[in-house]
């Protein structure tokens, strides 16, 4: 009878093959009498094929990534008569940066500096604009409180407040500018357009449409007012009038990208829904 392992003194049934080690370092299955840390491999007939060493967990944990393959060879391969094993090479994480060439590192550094510089520029620019708006609002407010104020100053203060997104305060000054307006009739179209924009941002869409319509009636070539009117009609889901408003823009500015894009989109929507373009009374 072939013994289960060299040096065996019994003919007992073959032991179960050990498949690994638990975390406490003990073998899952080990035949008594076999040196600790070794396992015997057998074929189907019980003949001993080779002996392997169970790799100690502490050896794996203590090994450097670059030496891990050598640890595997030392504990498993000599008994098989093998000298190599197709194992993926391990590279320490820090070596990735070391492998980059200097020009690449310089390019990354320059890109980082550019991004930081661009961010700083934007922040500084916004701070300067905010400061300028605050100073303008303060000066115009003092002029209005003095009582000696013109319609243009009301309009200017309203425009500054719009840029500061103070829409309620802007509305009051723009309404006052229209009330006391003493300038040219066509120039007041700018005030109506600005007031419409303030209403639009206050969710007063009907009032915004009225102001935009007044603006394009006073100044038919007013591109911004036409586009704003189209936007307000889109918000009201009146696709036909929105399309007509954008066509009004294209009548005076054929290359206006906003009007071209929105008009094409609305035309496709109206064709799909069977809606015809509609005019409105301006």
pLDDT in tens, 123-175: 776 666 666 666 666 666 666 676 677 888 889 888 888 988 989 999 999 99
User: What's the pLDDT score for residue 103?
Assistant: 75
The count of structural domains within the chain is 2
Q: Using 50, 70 and 90 to split pLDDT, how confident is the model at 281?
A: very low
Domain that includes residue 127, residue range = 117-179
Q: Using 50, 70 and 90 to split pLDDT, how confident is the model at 280?
A: very low
Does any domain span residue 85?
A: no
Does any domain span residue 46?
A: no
pLDDT of 178 above 60: yes
Q: Which two tokens stand for residue 10?
A: 């019994």
pTM as predicted? 0.54
Q: Using 50, 70 and 90 to split pLDDT, how confident is the model at 91?
A: very low
Indicate whether 272 and 218 sit together in one domain. yes
Up-side HSE of residue 201: CA atoms within 13 Å toward CB? 16
Q: Using 50, 70 and 90 to split pLDDT, how confident is the model at 42?
A: low
Supply the mean pLDDT for the chain.
73
Burial class (CB in 10 A: 0-12, 13-18, 19+), 265: middle
CB 246: neighbour CB atoms within 10 A? 28
Question: Helices 205-218 & 223-235, crossing angle to 10 degrees?
Answer: 150
Q: Which of 133, 158, 179 is the last residue of a domain?
A: 179
Which residues pair with residue 48 across a beta bridge? 42
Question: Residue 135: which CATH number?
Answer: 1.25.40
Q: Which of 143, 163, 179 is the last residue of a domain?
A: 179
C-alpha–C-alpha distance, residues 113 and 107, integer Å: 10
Q: Which of 179, 205, 226 is the last residue of a domain?
A: 179
User: What's the pLDDT score for residue 33?
Assistant: 40
Indicate whether 156 and 220 sit together in one domain. no
């Amino acid at each position: 009878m072939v013994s289960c392992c060299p040096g065996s003194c019994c003919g007992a049934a073959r032991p179960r093959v050990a498949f690994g080690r638990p975390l406490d370092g003990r073998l899952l299955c080990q035949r008594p009498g076999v040196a600790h840390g070794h396992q015997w491999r057998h074929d189907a007939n019980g003949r001993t094929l080779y002996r392997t060493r169970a790799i100690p967990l502490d050896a794996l944990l203590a090994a450097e990534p670059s030496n891990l393959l050598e640890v595997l060879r030392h504990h498993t391969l000599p008994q098989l008569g093998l000298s190599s094993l197709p194992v993926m090479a391990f590279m320490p994480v820090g070596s990735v940066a070391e492998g980059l060439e200097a020009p690449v590192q310089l390019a990354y550094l320059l890109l980082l500096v550019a991004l930081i510089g661009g961010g700083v520029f934007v922040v500084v620019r916004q701070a300067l604009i905010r400061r300028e708006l605050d100073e303008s609002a303060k000066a115009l407010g003092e002029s209005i409180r003095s009582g000696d104020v013109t319609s243009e100053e009301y309009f200017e203060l309203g425009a500054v407040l719009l840029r500061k997104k103070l829409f309620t305060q802007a509305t009051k000054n723009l309404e006052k500018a229209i009330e006391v307006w003493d300038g040219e009739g066509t120039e007041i179209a700018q005030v109506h357009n600005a007031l419409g924009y303030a209403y639009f941002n206050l969710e007063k869409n009907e009032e915004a449409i009225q102001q935009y319509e007044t603006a394009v009636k006073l100044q038919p070539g007013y591109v911004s007012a036409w586009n704003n009117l189209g936007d307000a009609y889109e918000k009201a889901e009146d696709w036909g009038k929105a399309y007509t408003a954008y066509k009004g823009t294209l009548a005076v500015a054929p290359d206006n990208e906003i009007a071209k894009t929105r008009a094409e989109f609305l035309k496709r929507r109206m064709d799909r829904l069977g809606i015809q373009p509609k005019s409105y009374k301006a």
